[in-house]
Amino acid sequence: MVSERQGRPVGRRLVLGMLGLGAVGVAVGAPLQDSLNGVFAGVREKDPTGITGLLPGSGDFRFYSVAPSVPQRTAADYRLTVDGLVARPTAYTLADLQGLPRTRMVKDVQCVTGWRVPRTPFTGVRLSHLLDAAGVKPGAKAVRFTCFDGVYTESLTLDQARRPDMLVAYAMDDRPVTHAHGGPVRLYAAPMYFYKSAKWLSGITVTDRVQPGYWEERGYDVDAWVGRSNGRDDASID
Ligand SMILES: Nc1nc2c(c(=O)[nH]1)N[C@H]1C(S)=C(S)[C@@H](COP(=O)(O)O)O[C@H]1N2
Ligand SMILES: [Mo]
């Protein structure tokens, strides 16, 4: 099976080269650091020296991106569109989203490859609120998520999407979602493995059937309930 860890060959080569040089991360500035964190994500789990853990500001998180580079979106140019089988297609700015009813949740983040970050707060607007505002048409069965990295996609059934623990999140750890973590806006699918939580969210399309997302086309479960799917935390996922 193709896995997350195999999805970043360019980054890994670059990182291995840098590790060979010895000094890591110390002298680089913030924007570069952001992208380096992305590059380091793929190796950290395999790094027996622990040296990648020395990267500042990364906490326990790994940073994942299947895209080699992702554009920045600011509060001025960020848009989230809601379209498809809806009565009222809508485009939200970041300020629009922040002005909607706010939900904060604190749960463990769990990636399917085994790493976990305990008690991570996410804040945003419920996905169900955006769906209700758009007016889901009869016959709709699912939701497709697209991202401004131009590559990643995700999906939920309409029933899953309407759960109160599915958020369109603009804060993580009580701070604006950073670019490396998928800011300014990412999905937070709390009851599911973290691959469902699409970063750099730009589109929500209501559809008549589930279209499997990026990793799901590569073998991951579409219904990604934590503890109940993908062979649980079984290392065989790799
Ligand atoms: N756009 C996009 N979203 C994504 C991914 C990605 O590669 N691209 N990776 C997924 C996976 S596998 C995980 S574990 C989490 C990682 O989120 P983080 O980088 O904030 O830790 O994002 C998910 N959402
Ligand atoms: Mo993941």
Tell the residue nearest (CA) to atom 2 of ligand 1: 199
Ligand nearest the Cα atom of residue 65: 1
Does 65 sit in the ligand 1 pocket, CB within 6 Å? yes
Structure tokens at 141: 């069965």
Q: Cβ(186)–Cβ(199) under 8 Å?
A: yes
Confidence (pLDDT) at 114: 84
How many Å lie between the centroid of ligand 2 and the Cα of residue 225?
13
Distance CA 105, CA 220 (A): 25
How many Å lie between the centroid of ligand 2 and the Cα of residue 137?
32
Ligand 1 atom closest to the Cα of residue 117 is 21
Does 182 sit in the ligand 1 pocket, CB within 6 Å? yes
Q: What residue ranges of the chain are covered by domains with CATH 3.90.420.10?
A: 80-218
How many Å lie between the centroid of ligand 2 and the Cα of residue 63?
9
Q: Could you report the per-residue pLDDT of 193-228, keeping only the tens digit for each?
A: 999 999 999 999 999 999 999 999 999 999 999 999
- From the options 1.10.8.60, 3.90.420.10, 3.40.190.10, 3.40.50.1000, give the CATH code of 80-218: 3.90.420.10
The model carries a pTM of: 0.80
Confidence (pLDDT) at 56: 47
Type of residue found at 73: R
Pocket test residue of 195, 204, 218, 221 for ligand 1, highest count of atoms within 8 A of CB: 195
Strand 201-207 and strand 80-84: pairing?
Answer: parallel
Percent of the chain with pLDDT over 70: 72
Does 181 sit in the ligand 1 pocket, CB within 6 Å? yes
Mean pLDDT of each 10-residue bin along the chain, 238 residues long:
54 33 32 41 40 50 90 97 98 98 97 90 98 98 98 98 98 97 98 97 99 97 93 50
Does 64 sit in the ligand 1 pocket, CB within 6 Å? yes
Confidence (pLDDT) at 61: 73
What mean pLDDT is reported for the chain? 81
Does 199 sit in the ligand 1 pocket, CB within 6 Å? yes
